Amino acid sequence: MVLMDKTTRRHRWDTKFSPYAYVTPYFLIFGVFGLFPLLYTIWVSLQHRNLLDEGGAYLVWFDNYATLFADPYFWNSMGNTLSLWMLTTVPQILFALGIAALLNRKVRTRTLFRMGVILPNITSVAAVTIIFAQLFGRDFGLVNWVLDLFGAGQIDWQAGTATSHIAIAVMVVWRWTGYHALIFLASMQAISPSLYEAATLDGASGWQQFWRITVPLLRPQIIFTTIIATTGNMRLLAEPLLFNPGAAAATGGSDRQFQTAALYLYEQGFTKYDFGYSSAIAVVLAIATIIVAGFGYLVTKRIQTD
């Protein structure tokens, strides 16, 4: 073996092992506190495991799932989840496209407007929901006061399924639209001006240019945003929980009219301590999210590109 001086040997050792040392903290912590719990959820979902039971945990295979699929409260929560997904994701993306198009014009004080649209996103979901719950109050809420000016009368926003979903959707859309708008804006600015010049010479209106040039070229970002928004909107929890805070908050309204699947997971897991059943909800919700995100992908993929 060739003799190496000390520095070279240390150098070899360094380049060989240091990279692993640098990435280890991430993989260690994420593995233990991120990935492991996620995978272990599947195992727990196959168990009878309730903290309030003396008997301890034991394997029941698919009993939790059988109960779940026969549970009307679960289907109710899945219905609410899908309804809220629709009511949040579609407006978010359409409004974000519109706002991005406005911001893409030559605007003075553009930093002010860009910061303005992102402001809702930095506020806390708890604070925002509490504020909106007050704005949507039945007797003294500002929304009803404004509607009253137009003769719409007092709406009990929390009481109805449709009205409560609209109110919650407003909170989510308010919070996330600006964020998506900035992502769209970044891509819009990369579109070559010559495309619009040519279209203008051909007599295309601004509206036509938006739908025929801008939107098709933003297809990758629209697909991406749809998937990101879907994974977020399929597990709404804070908004329905704090829309009607109080002792029975986890049911999402007196008739469970706005209980999402994530909130039902919370109710089963942390008010009834039925960890097995709650884990089964988590697994089904994860699968449902993948299916819905896949559906969103298929729809947005169909945006025409020439």
Partner 1 sequence: MTAVMDPPAPPARPTGPVVRARRIARRVAGPWTYAALIAVLAGSAFPVYWSFVVSSQTPDAVDSVPPVLVPGGHLFANIARVFDTTDFALALMNSVIVSGTVTVSVVLFSTLAGFAFAKMKFRGRNVLLLLVIGTQAIPTELGIIPLYMMMAEFGWAGEIHAVIVPGLVTAFGVFFMRQYFERAIPDELLEAGRMDGCHSLRLFWHVALPAARPAAAVLGLFTFMQAWNDFFWPLVVLVPENPTVQTALSTLASGYTTDYTLVLTAATIGTVPVLLVFLLFGRQIVGGIMSGAVKG
Site for partner 1 in 107-166 (CB under 8 A): 107-120, 122-128, 130-135, 139-140, 142, 145
Which of 1, 2, 22, 304 is in the footprint of partner 1 by CB under 8 A? 22
Interface positions, 170-199, toward partner 1 (CB under 8 A) = 174, 178-179, 182-183, 185-186, 192-194, 196-197
Q: 47 or 76: whose CB is closer to partner 1?
A: 47
Least Å distance, CB 223 to partner 1, is 13
- DSSP class of residue 253 equals S
Q: Is residue 305 near partner 1 by the rule CB under 8 A?
A: no
Asked whether position 298 contacts partner 1 by CB under 8 A, the answer is: no
Cα 262 from Cα 269, distance rounded (Å) = 10
Q: Does 297 bind partner 1 (CB under 8 A)?
A: no
Which H or E element spans position 47? strand 47-48
**CB of 285 vs partner 1, minimal distance in Å:** 7
Nearer to partner 1, 111 or 304 (CB): 111
Q: How far is the CB of 269 from partner 1 (least distance, A)?
A: 6
Q: Which residues pair with 50 in a beta bridge?
A: 274
| 201: exposed, middle or buried (Cβ count in 10 Å: 0-12, 13-18, 19+) | exposed
CA distances from 235 to 26, 93, 117, 231, 259 (A): 26, 18, 24, 7, 11
Question: Which of 177, 178, 156, 154 shows the shortest CA–CA distance to 167?
Answer: 156
Query: Considering the rule CB under 8 A, would residue 252 count as an interface residue with partner 1?
Result: no
Long-range contacts (CB closer than 8 Å, 24 or more residues apart) made by 148-157: none
| N-to-C CA span, the chain | 64
Rounded to the nearest whole angstrom, what is the least distance from the CB of residue 202 to partner 1 in the complex?
Answer: 12
Q: Which of 9, 10, 12, 301 is in the footprint of partner 1 by CB under 8 A?
A: 10
Taking a C-beta distance cutoff of 8 angstroms, is the pair 197, 176 a contact?
A: no
Pick from 293, 258, 297: which is nearest to 84 by CA?
A: 258
Single residue of 104, 226, 233, 260 touching partner 1 by CB under 8 A:
104
Contact 243, 167 (CB under 8 A): yes
By CB under 8 A, name the one of 4, 14, 156, 298 that touches partner 1.
14
If one asks whether residue 215 binds partner 1 (CB under 8 A), the answer comes out as no
- Looking only at residues 33 through 72 of this chain, which bind partner 1 when binding is defined by CB under 8 A? 33-41, 44
Among 68, 222, 285, 292, binds partner 1 (CB under 8 A): 285
- 304 lies in the site for partner 1, by CB under 8 A: no
